[in-house]
Amino acid sequence: MALTRNGKRADVVSLEGNSINAQPVKALPIAADVLLIEDSSDNYAAKKAEIGNLPALSAVETISKALKGSPGTINPGQSVYVSGWNVGAGVIEVELAKADAAATMPAIGMCETTITNVAQGNVTLAGHVGGLDTSTGGIAVNDPMFVSPTVAGGFTKTRPVSPGHLVQQIGRVARAHASLGVIQVSGAGRTNDVPNRTLGLAPEFAGAGISRPGTNNAVDFSYAWDGTNYHAAYRGESANATLQSSSIIQRIQLPENWPGWHTDAIAYWNRVDATPGSTGLTVKVYDTGNTLRHTDAKQANTSWTKTVIADTDLAAGTWTPGGWITIEYLFEAQNGKGAELGEVELAPAGD
């Protein structure tokens, strides 16, 4: 409820149960504007009529007074996070929110007025903020607005997708306009979506299976741990003098917000025993349409090596967000030697 006294906001005190000029006072609806009228006549009937003619509020807004925590200016429409408490003024201190680091998140709301380190202003925690440019970049009514990871205090209709960027929807567009745009603020006061991360996979892979060809498939698989170099691994070896081969098959679901591949798309750690002969590891990647898109060179590194498959190697594929890709790890071994597959990383664009 907004209470105005001589043009200034004031706290509301309920008078229900009391009386003015012997007239009982009833509680006003919460969603109402109340105007306190000062005159010496104490004319209750006139006051009651004027109060009754005031329009009801269309919505209840939550606004907090704030000071900027450091020298400078925060402008209307910029999103802010809490940076401290101003003991002297008894209000929160805020700074510009930015979704590229936890230290500048989450946003608590959007500034309604200008705020400096010496002049208090209003931060809308829930409600609407107007006078904004909500027309660029194809913005339309009801589009979600996210805290920007690139512009401090900014908002964007594009959900942040880079690994390490935090995701917080600060509100929705109520009016699209170049200078009179309106955002309905509903910031959760927390990052409120799944953050973006490189997919890190360490053996043993959930749901992985073993595929063996019809002949020469006597590869023995085991789980290995290298406590010196700190790698968990699948190990495939064979005592047979003839080269043997078998594969571990892994199915991976891409996130619903998958933006495409980073330039270093897939990385995997690998090594083989010393004097391996033809022992080695070959990685094959199938897209979400289950089409083979890349066969990597056979790896026979005798020390732990991080091998990278580039995005250009996968450019021809179909990589539907939410779809399933398949990676085949082909182990070849002989003469008591073995190949090992360590951790695997799938990196999205923007990492």
- pLDDT (0 to 100) of residue 61: 79
- pLDDT (0 to 100) of residue 192: 63
User: Taking a C-beta distance cutoff of 8 angstroms, is the pair 246, 236 a contact?
Assistant: yes
- pLDDT (0 to 100) of residue 299: 97
Six token digits for residue 331: 């182990």
**What's the rounded Cα separation, in Å, for the pair 219 and 333?**
7
142 and 219 inside one domain: no
300 and 214 inside one domain: yes
Helix ranges restricted to H, the chain: 44-52
User: Taking a C-beta distance cutoff of 8 angstroms, is the pair 282, 298 a contact?
Assistant: yes
CA-CA-CA-CA torsion sign (213, 281, 248, 195): negative
| Mean pLDDT, residues 299-312 taken together | 96
Of the residues 15, 34, 52, the one at which a domain ends: 52
- pLDDT (0 to 100) of residue 162: 72
Whether residue 277 is predicted with pLDDT greater than 90 in this model: the reply is yes
71 and 181 inside one domain: yes
Pairing mode of beta strands 199-201, 62-68: unpaired
| Mean pLDDT, residues 277-293 taken together | 96
Of the residues 185, 209, 233, the one at which a domain ends: 185
Domain that holds residue 122: 62-185
pTM confidence score: 0.52
Beta-ladder partners of 79: 110
The per-residue DSSP string of 17-64 comes to T-EETTEE-PPPPSS-EEEE---SS--HHHHHHHHHTSPPPSS--EEE
- Residues whose CB is less than 8 angstroms from the CB of residue 338 and which lie 6 or more positions away in sequence, other chains included: 235, 236, 237, 238, 272, 273, 279
Residue 250 located in a structural domain: yes
Residue 193 located in a structural domain: no
Reported as a single tens digit per residue, the pLDDT across 21-38 is 444 444 444 433 344 434
CA–CA–CA angle 295, 298, 300 (5° rounding): 155
113 and 181 inside one domain: yes
Whether residue 45 is predicted with pLDDT greater than 60 in this model: the reply is no
Query: What residue type is assigned to position 151 of the chain?
Result: V
70 and 47 inside one domain: no
Of the residues 144, 161, 185, the one at which a domain ends: 185
Whether residue 200 is predicted with pLDDT greater than 90 in this model: the reply is no
97 and 130 inside one domain: yes
- pLDDT (0 to 100) of residue 215: 92
Number of independent structural domains in the chain:
3
| Mean pLDDT, residues 286-299 taken together | 97
pLDDT confidence of 159, banded at 50, 70, 90?
confident
Residue 190 located in a structural domain: no
Whether residue 144 is predicted with pLDDT greater than 50 in this model: the reply is yes
